[in-house]
Amino acid sequence: MFEASRMLFIYVETPLHAGTGRGFGAVDLPIQRERITGYPVVQASTIKGRLRSEAEAHASAGKGLTIAEVTAIFGPQTGAASDHAGALSAGDARVLLFPVRSLAGVFAWVTSADVLARFCREASFTGLNAALTEIPRPVDDAVWVNGTSLAVGESPGGAKGTQSVVLEEFSFTPKQDHASEIKQWADWLAANALLASPEYKYWREALPLKLCVLPEDAFRDFVLYSTEVQTHVHLDPKTKTVKSGALWTSESLPTDTLLYAPLMATQSRTQTSNLTGQQVLDKVVGLNLVRTQLAGDETTGQGIVALRFAGGTP
C-alpha cells in the first residue's frame, strides 16, 4: 500500500497536445480522453516520464539527486524493467477547470458538479485537506456564478431574469444561489493550485469572477468540441511550397486549462537507495519544478505547463 501522497496541479500555459496517435474522426491527431465521459486526460505515463526526465537532468548536474535515487524512484530503464518497480506512482491528470470563450469577460473557467466531486474524492485520497463545500448540479439552462462579470443583457437593476451568460454560441441563465460556494472554491484554487508568483496575480484575482459551474452535459460538450484544433502542412524541402496531400489537424487542450494528478509513493525496492514513501515524494517535490514541457510538439513551444504540488500524507 502507498505510504505517502501529494496532489500535483498542472496549469496549461501553451496549448497541450497529449495525443493518442492517428484518429478516425474529423481531427487527425486527437488528444487523450476518458472512455466513458469523453473528458480530456493526460495519461500517467506522460507525467511520470516528464518527472523522470527532470530528475535525471538534476542528477546529472549534481542537484540533490543521485542516479541511484532516480532509479529507485522511477524504476530501471526499459532493458532492466524486470529488476524492480519504481517507488513513485502517478495518476492520470484530469481536467478541473476548462476555459471557454465568453461574450462578457473574454473567457470563463467552466467546471461541473461531477468534476468537482471527482476532485474532492481524489483530494481526500491524497490527504489534501480542501474542506470545500459540495455544489449541487444546475438544472435546465442555469449556470452557477459568483457575481455578474460574465453576464450580458439587462443591468443588475433591470428586469429580473433578463441577463445571460453566453459561452461560445450557447446562452445560459446566471444564478447566484451558490455564489458563496463558488467563491470558496475559486479562492481555494487560487491559493493552492495556481502559482503564488507575481506573474499569476491577475489570474488569482480573476478566478473568483470567471468561475462558473455548468450542467454536466453542457460541460461535457465544451470539453469535447471547444478544444484548440491546429492545421499543419508539410513543405517540400526544395520548393518551400505545400506538399500535395500533406495536410493534417491536431487537437490540443487550450491555454489556461487547469488539471490535477495524484502522486503516490511507497518504500523504494532497491538495496542501493533505501527511501521511505515520504522521502520519495520529498525528492520529487525537491526538484523545485515551476514549469516544464509535457507531451508533444516540444520544438514549437507547445505543452509548457506550470506545476504546483499541494497537500500530502505522512
How much is the pLDDT for 314?
41
How much is the pLDDT for 170?
93
CB-based contacts of 257, cutoff 8 Å, min separation 6: 11, 12, 16, 40, 95, 97, 98, 99
Kindly list the averaged pLDDT for each block of 10 residues, start to end, along the chain of length 314.
87 90 71 92 92 89 83 77 76 96 94 94 84 88 91 62 87 92 94 94 95 95 91 75 73 94 87 82 89 83 92 58
How much is the pLDDT for 79?
65
Instruction: Count Cβ neighbours within 10 Å for each residue of 15-36 and write b for 16 or more, e otherwise.
Output: bbbbbeeeeeeebbbbbbbeee
How much is the pLDDT for 136?
92
Reported as type and span, the H/E element at residue 45 is helix 44-60
In tens, the pLDDT along 113-133 reads 999 999 999 988 888 877 788
Distance, CA of 60 to CA of 1 (rounded, Å): 31
Question: Domain segments of the chain: what residues?
Answer: 4-313
